[in-house]
Amino acid sequence: MNKTLTAGALALALLAGVGAAPAQTLRIGLAEDPDILDPTLARTFVGRIVFSALCDKLIDITPDLKLVPRLATEWNWSADEKSLTVKLRPDVLFHDGEKLDAAAAKYSLERHLTLPGSFRRAEIRGIKAIEVLDPLTFRIDLEAPFAPLVAQLTDRAGMMVSPKAARAMGDKFGTAPVCTGPFKFVERVAQDRIVLERFEQYWEKDKIHLQRIEYRPIIDNTVRLANLKSGQLDFIERVAATDLDDVRKDRRFKLSSIVELGYQGITINMGNGARAKGPMGNPKVREALELSLDRQALIQVVFNGEFEVGNQWISPGNAAYNKAIPVPKRDVAKARALLREAGHPNPTIEFMVATTGEAQQVAQVIQSMTKEAGFDLKIRATEFASSLKLAEQGDFEIYYLGWSGRTDPDGNLVQFITCGSPNNNSGHCNQEVEKLILASRSTNDLAKRREAWHAIARVTLTDRPIVYLFHRKWFWAYANKVSGLVEYPDGLVRVHGLKVN
């Protein structure tokens, strides 16, 4: 829950982590506290920021979304696109000194598939078997062609964990993870800090210039920025749009940005439990909700116009965007008419929103806009992790929620709208969409995949399980002594090349 900060509380916040930082220490302020540090079980965006230093992946992306080798040096599809052969980099060690080989890669992938509670299972569920071909080569066999697989391996599904450590620690692995990244785990104090130290046996250590990284979760944007200004932090992610001019004018700091891969939107409960039977279960009410919104005005009021409006799961600049369905204009008169036709001229709707300041501001603007059409939105401020759980259980009507985005558009789409998927909080299930999803995943021909995505847009933007609103820009502010940052649209802070001078 956000609290009003007194002068004393702000002073205490600024003293977080008091003490001289060791040489070449980078102190990063996070907008939330990550969940479990187990790549199989984790689901938060800030956790991915930590993992980018802690756990290497088989494959990565470039800033312009090309796939590049990391732990895997090459990968090749079979002629029928049902098998992917992967060759690993030699001489890679886990933090416990164990070697990364094909058997270890097989273990990690199978763990993603079978561990209870895995959030990776849905991402790679098309895998039928994994076979070790030689010490550094393995083959992934699929039930059917699955084009997004390689892109999935650029994120947590492609992270390798030490089999020895994972077996020994069991369900406690996330409290002291052991991976192959450039930094190894030291300690975690919940809601206070996560500390990593340089791994001296890292395979690409010549590109690592830091000795230590301290991640500090500070939810309040004002306090996070104040910590940067006071010198208690060197780097903060997700600077509030309303603070950008302040940072731009301060010569002590640099500011970097890039448009995100993901989206921000309103998830609508249209088929997830008893609460789906309310007014929002009616397609006319869902359409009225969207028509009552002015996206450009929303981002102007809350974010000083810094973000990009959108109405699909990828931004208008993405090649997969369906340009035949542009962002709809606000039409309050039509929204009112639709509500009358639906038999709900003045629906009262509970609007679940995380307790962060920006989310609350967005909710208040949406509340005001929709009121003109006849809606009475009751804002339900909920701690973020709790809101995720409530959404899974279907205990909501509408829910303001974003997604940080994935390299392949499939990663922004499938798990949120397909029947029975783990993040399908709306309960959306449309058999035409299921067939189109299968078509989009069954070929590596990008033109055919785009055709399927465009058809999916025509259906889902009518069904409206999610009303997509806008696409953020990732903003990072950091002290002049920090150098070497490269901006990636996934919003992750890659530590390779970073220095603190």
Give the pLDDT confidence score for residue 11 in this predicted structure: 43
Q: What share of the chain is helix, strand, coil (3-state, %, to 5)?
A: 35, 25, 45
Q: Does domain 263-471 have CATH number 3.30.60.50?
A: no
Place of tokens 């479990």: 36
Query: In 148-270, where do the E strands start and end?
Result: 183-189, 193-198, 212-217, 235-237, 253-259, 263-268
Torsion of Cα atoms, 316 then 319 then 321 then 325, to 10° = 90
- 257 in Cβ contact with 473 (< 8 Å): yes
Q: Could you report the per-residue pLDDT of 455-471, keeping only the tens digit for each?
A: 999 999 999 999 999 99
State the chain's mean pLDDT as an integer.
Answer: 93
pLDDT range class, residue 385, cuts 50, 70, 90: confident
Q: Could you report the per-residue pLDDT of 168-194, keeping only the tens digit for each?
A: 999 999 999 999 999 999 999 999 999
Query: Which H or E element spans position 487?
Result: none
- 4 in Cβ contact with 222 (< 8 Å): no
- 376 in Cβ contact with 405 (< 8 Å): no
Percent of the chain with pLDDT over 90: 88
> What is the crossing angle of helices 357-371 and 295-303, to 10°?
140
d(CA 320, CA 332): 30
Tell me how far CA of residue 310 lies from CA of 210, 259, 262, 321, in angstroms: 38, 12, 11, 10
Give the pLDDT confidence score for residue 481 in this predicted structure: 97
Counting Cα atoms < 13 Å in the Cβ hemisphere of 357 gives 20
Give the pLDDT confidence score for residue 86 in this predicted structure: 98
Give the pLDDT confidence score for residue 358 in this predicted structure: 85
Which has more confidence, 367 or 15? Answer: 367
pLDDT range class, residue 10, cuts 50, 70, 90: very low
Give the pLDDT confidence score for residue 450 in this predicted structure: 95
Q: Which of 19-33, 88-102, 222-236 has the lowest mean pLDDT?
A: 19-33
Q: Could you report the per-residue pLDDT of 61-79, keeping only the tens digit for each?
A: 999 889 999 999 999 999 9
Nearest Cα to 181, choosing from 195, 152, 161, 167? 161
Q: Does domain 23-55+181-260+476-500 have CATH number 3.40.190.10?
A: yes
Backbone dihedral region for residue 464 (phi beyond 0: left; psi -120 to 50: alpha; all else: beta): left
Tell me how far CA of residue 109 lies from CA of 121, 123, 157, 185, 285, in angstroms: 9, 11, 7, 21, 43
Length of the chain: 501
Mean pLDDT for 364-379 is: 98
- 311 in Cβ contact with 326 (< 8 Å): yes
Q: Could you report the per-residue pLDDT of 239-294, keeping only the tens digit for each?
A: 988 899 999 999 999 999 999 999 999 999 999 999 999 999 999 999 999 999 99
Domain residue spans of the chain: 23-55+181-260+476-500, 59-163, 263-471
Model pTM above 0.85: no
Q: Could you report the per-residue pLDDT of 400-413, keeping only the tens digit for each?
A: 999 988 989 999 99
Give the pLDDT confidence score for residue 204 in this predicted structure: 97
Give the pLDDT confidence score for residue 37 in this predicted structure: 98
Give the pLDDT confidence score for residue 233 in this predicted structure: 98
pLDDT at 13 over 50: no
Mean pLDDT for 322-338 is: 97
Mean pLDDT for 391-400 is: 97
Give the pLDDT confidence score for residue 56 in this predicted structure: 97
Percent of the chain with pLDDT over 70: 95
Give the pLDDT confidence score for residue 22 in this predicted structure: 58
Q: Which of 1-5, 96-100, 286-290, 342-346 has the lowest mean pLDDT?
A: 1-5
Q: Could you report the per-residue pLDDT of 435-492, keeping only the tens digit for each?
A: 999 999 999 999 999 999 999 999 999 999 999 999 999 999 999 999 999 999 999 9
CATH of 59-163, one of 2.40.170.20, 3.90.76.10, 3.90.228.20, 3.10.150.10: 3.90.76.10
- Angle made by CA atoms 233, 187, 184, in degrees to the nearest 5: 90
Place of tokens 């309040």: 220
Tokens of 280: 């929002």
Give the pLDDT confidence score for residue 165 in this predicted structure: 98
Give the pLDDT confidence score for residue 391 in this predicted structure: 96
3-class DSSP state of 426: coil
Tell me how far CA of residue 373 lies from CA of 16, 209, 319, 336, 453, in angstroms: 46, 56, 34, 5, 31
pLDDT at 85 over 50: yes
pLDDT range class, residue 21, cuts 50, 70, 90: low
d(CA 285, CA 304): 29
